Amino acid sequence: MERRVVITACSSITPIGRTKEEILHSLVHGISGVKTLREDGLLSSYIHSKVFGTVDYPISYDFKRQHRKTMGPVAYYACQVAKEVIEGAGLDQDFVTSGRLGVAFGSTHGSPTVQRDIYRTFFGASRTEFSTIGAVDYLKSMVHTTAVNITKMFGITGRVISSCTACTTSSQSIGYGYEAIKYGMQDAMLCGGADEYDTTTVAVFDNLLACSTAFNDSPHLTPRPFDTKRDGLVVGEGAGAVMLEEYGYARKRGAPILAEVIGFACNNNGGDLILPNLNGIRDTIRIGLKDAKINADEMDFISAHATGTKMGDVIEAQAIYDVYGNLPGVVGLKSYMGHTMGSCGAIETIIAVYLMEEGFIAPTLNLDEVDERCAMINHVAKLREHPIRVATIQNFAFGGVNTSLIIKKMP
């Protein structure tokens, strides 16, 4: 028997704020979190794109040394938001360690900061310097470092899923957590994703000519999803986590219920590993609606993947129109903070919950003139007071991975 799944807590670290109040303030007042790329003395001088979605405010990590020693920056982010959702959901230690709580959490590629130091030592140092590589450096840098550091820090013994599918990492995490609860494999799942500041990530996309370069002197004006002047994505950093619980259990213990997860879809284009695919994206959206058991005309709000690339935005707009027409309000939240990579799906889900709670739709930032090839859908270019009953979060990744996550406001 299928079980209902609800969100009982959420936490995020984003370029536009930490708390709900800070994030909503940025959305309402059109404040961008995109800043000038920091010099790192290594790659930055070779990178054409000079902008980054930056977390540039202090974050307090009250972690014991026994936990800190296996954490790179990305695991710090992950464990901080994990700590906050466990506390926010009000779960006691007996439940956390019971095996009934699992973790679905990932990042794009572990900690690139630590990886780069390891490689520099291996390939540039003498044998006598190999000893500078710490015994726990691999634990800091491995691709599932976020998930396992969370389990270690909180004593979580349930199942562990660690997605590492770039832009769909945390939306997959939430989706797989939803399925684990829905089909009775866990009673709760701590889900999300994180990625840290590092110029190697920018270099990868810069080399593919996918990064924004035209606004290096005015970072707040990029990215520009669906706009005629868009010129590519902006890499960012951050973390997001949600606590998912079986509805009956959450209600019985009086937990705060923020929203219900009602649908999830994930599939692959089965072809090119870089270019978006209209059929693949369209199929994912339709499968998500089928899983949610709702019709397209019941959708109120679409958080589009909308990275600001030339073809990606066009293909996504066409897919949205083919399934939804021009009724739901469409917003590209990356316009405020850049593409936070492995954390974007979780952060965008959290923001969708906030907008659902407050009853308005924030506009896409920097959308001054809609590209005519994207104009067929209902773009939100100005703040719109509008009740949101059902929202979808769409994310698409290199490798042809597509996800659609659907959430519903609780009555």
CATH code assigned at 28: 3.40.47.10
Instruction: Please state, in angstroms and rounded to a whole number, the distance separating the CA atoms of residues 223 and 246.
Output: 37
* 292-342 residue pLDDT tens: 999 999 999 999 999 999 999 999 999 999 999 999 999 999 999 999 999
* 69-83 residue pLDDT tens: 999 999 999 999 999
Amino acid at the residue 16 = I
List the structure tokens of 142. Answer: 């491995």
pTM here?
A: 0.96
Q: Which domain holds residue 243?
A: 5-408
* 202-241 residue pLDDT tens: 999 999 999 999 999 999 999 999 999 999 999 999 999 9
Number of domains in the chain: 1
Mutual angle of helices 199-207 and 112-124, in 10-degree steps: 80
Residue 129: pLDDT band (50, 70, 90) is low
DSSP-assigned letters across all residues of 65-122: HHHHTT--HHHHHHHHHHHHHHHHHT--HHHHTSSSEEEEEE-SSS-HHHHHHHHHHH
Amino acid at the residue 238 = G
